[in-house]
Amino acid sequence: MKAAPFAYVRPSRLSDAIAELAETRGGGKVIAGGQSLTPVLAMRLARPDTLIDINSVEELGALTRSGPALHIGATVRQRRVERDPLGASVPLLRLALPWVGHRELRSRGTVCGSLAHADPAAELPAVACCLDAELTLSGPNGHRRVSAREFFHGAMTTALTPDEILTSVRLPVAAAGEGFGFAEIARRHGDFALAGVAVRVRLRAGGPEATMTAFGVSDRPVTRDLSERLAAAVNDGGDGLAGRLKEQLVAVVEEIVDTDGDIHASRDYRRRLLLALAGRELSKAYERARDGAEEVTT
């Protein structure tokens, strides 16, 4: 199939892009990389009156680090973040990006585009939720900042209003005593996940803090504080931390996975996948935090 007819504009200033979007009165769509939107258009699942191409808006192309945060503008490609030395300041993002589609898709797709598309089986929304990233939404009434954990309302549904553009995301850079883990199970590499986890562990004087975001198992990324369960598994001592964590996480996983089964996987199968991934990646993240690993490898 091919897309239904639409008008096309390519403003060079953010204010003009916002004005163009407002003028469509809900009938417009913003495009940057197009790796999520273009298939939707081709299948005619969306029929916008106007496409607002923001690639000429120079201020949206910034990739910068400011103090404790990495700033990623709306037109920054995933592959750029993957290769730029600044991307290494957010190890969880670096761990997740190789799982996003294929290299050719990441060369065109944008980080913010994946967030705005809000596919519940996508990797980057889970990363943003796990790190409690901050998203900037810009519209006719100015800018507002929204936590990633409040941004995703459901499958393909977010806090964006029809006249707003997701203009940037700010992710916290890693600090000493932090470790991360990321993994997913998909039918083939590059496919969306049947189940996946993003994990962050911080070692504190009072005990480890652990956050896990699961994806592919609900209608949005699901984040849980697992600090008590990690502490209990660590205090048990001995080898086999991943196995002890799995015992601690059975009830959590049971509650998180609420999607119905489909032709690819049943609900029970997704629970088994998530339990195995959660135990393994939480264990890895703890060991990385404990050992002070400066570089994270997949």
107 and 237, same structural domain? no
- Of 169, 204, 224, the residue at which a domain comes to its end is 169
Helix/strand number for the chain, H first, E second:
11, 14
123-177 pLDDT, tens digit each: 999 999 999 999 999 999 999 999 999 999 999 999 999 999 999 999 999 999 9
Q: Which residue has the tokens 């029970």?
A: 268
Question: Model pTM?
Answer: 0.93
Out of 169, 197, 219, pick the residue that ends a domain: 169
Q: What is the DSSP letter of 205?
A: T
Residue 225 sits in a domain of what CATH number?
3.30.390.50
Domain count along the chain: 2
What CATH number should be reported for the domain holding residue 106? Answer: 3.30.465.10
The token pair that represents 234 in the structure block: 């660590």
Residue 120 domain boundaries: 1-169
Helices (H), 57-170: 78-83, 91-96, 103-108, 111-117, 123-130, 148-151
Over residues 108-121, mean pLDDT: 96
Tens of pLDDT, residues 65-106: 998 999 999 999 999 999 999 999 999 999 999 999 999 999
